[in-house]
Amino acid sequence: LHLQIKLLRVLQEHTYERVGDNQQHQTNARIIAATHRDLRRGVAEGSFREDLYYRLRVFPIEIPPLRERREDIEPIARLLLSRVGARTGRALRFSPDALRALLSHDWPGNVRELQNALEFAATVCPGQTLQPEDLPPEVLPGVDSRLASSGAPHHPGPLTRSAGARESGRGGEDEGRQA
């Protein structure tokens, strides 16, 4: 709550103090705030200041969770994958099966979860084409996300292919990888 008072001062008076400094500084910054929490409930429970709530709620933009905007998953995933590829110097792409797996997941963590899943996949993918087995286990259809996030070992099963077979699109009987 003490930090909320400081943020409220910045929003109302356009002044702030640097850490370790007693001098007031002016700002003309605009604040864009985002949260996944219900701030109205926070106000009612006393964990969020009512005056700050109304100061932040000048022009609210409510964006539904990713699971309610399935049409956005593919373009967002492609953009995020291109960023990961640019950063790592790789031209990454999705296999059709990997894209289907992304589209079938509910994404309770929204875009952050999608971004982390793609970072993970790019890290473990040996080639340029991301396969379903490159995705985190909790993203794959039929995998219990509680089991997957508990640290239990992931055994990809029938989707596992050798690196050479992956790029050509042929399945393999090799021992596969463990994620």
Helix pair 96-104, 110-124: axis angle to 10 deg: 150
Strand partners, 93: 129
Encoded tokens for 22: 């007693």
pTM of the model: 0.63
How would you class 140 by CB atoms within 10 Å of its CB: exposed for 0-12, middle for 13-18, buried for 19 or more? Answer: buried
Residue pLDDT, tens place only, 40-99: 999 999 999 999 999 999 898 888 999 999 999 999 999 999 999 999 999 999 999 999
**What residues are paired with 129 via a beta bridge?**
93
Strands (E), 18-113: 24-26, 93-94
The DSSP bridge pattern shows strands 93-94 and 129-130 to be: parallel
Calpha distance 93→151 (Å, rounded): 28
Under the banding of pLDDT at 50, 70 and 90, the label for residue 172 is very low
Strands (E), the chain: 15-17, 24-26, 93-94, 129-130
> What is the Cα–Cα distance from 154 to 156, expressed in whole angstroms?
6
With H, G, I as helix, E, B as strand and everything else as coil, classify residue 57: coil
Per-residue pLDDT tens over the stretch 88-112: 999 999 999 999 999 999 999 999 9
pLDDT value of position 40: 94
d(CA 30, CA 42): 23
- Residue range 136-170, pLDDT digits in tens: 999 998 765 444 444 444 434 333 333 334 444 43
Higher pLDDT, 173 or 19: 19
CA distances from 104 to 32, 88, 146, 167 (A): 31, 27, 17, 23
Structure tokens at 44: 């009612």
For β-strands 24-26 and 15-17, DSSP reports them as: antiparallel
CB 11 within 8 A of CB 31: yes
Phi, psi of 94, rounded to the nearest 5 degrees: -100, 140
